[in-house]
Amino acid sequence: MDSKENDSHSLSKKDDFQEAVEQLFYASPFHEILNSFQKLISDQLENSSISMNIRDEKGGLYVDITVPESFQNGDIMIEAKSRYLHVALKEAAQNGDSASFTSLSRTVLLPYPVREETMKTAWNRNVLTISFPDAKKHE
């Protein structure tokens, strides 16, 4: 047997072994457990993210923050320092004898410095809009 035949025979054995392991894994209850766990984590990550859209318009700087539904009854803390905007969400849930606490935070770099004392907020469904009306670019 030459080396090319030997290599292709080895690859065939590896492919067959990998296929057998995959079939065994997919046929086992372990596969369902892992799929359930993966779905749970994916759902939690989807519901636990803060998305921000920064808009620089003629009237000032605007930041639209999409707040996950699970945090809409919690506490929201917003802090603006120079060019940084920090948003923290906290939620506490009571279920009978147990309590759970969840928090998310995100900090973004703004295009130019802002002053926290000029900050205004508006709430529309699950979007919190923060505006800095007199924010001006330093040119």
Confidence at 139, pLDDT banded by 50, 70, 90:
very low
Q: Can you tell me whether residue 29 is helix, strand or coil? A: helix
Q: What angle do CA 34, 40, 41 make, to 5 degrees?
A: 90
Task: Please write the tens of the pLDDT for every residue from 66-87.
Answer: 887 767 677 889 999 988 999 8
CA distances from 5 to 12, 13, 16, 19 (A): 10, 12, 16, 21
pTM for this entry:
0.59
Q: What is the C-alpha to C-alpha distance for residues 96 and 124, in angstroms, rounded to an integer?
A: 32
Residues 116/69/73/49 CA torsion (nearest 10 deg): -50
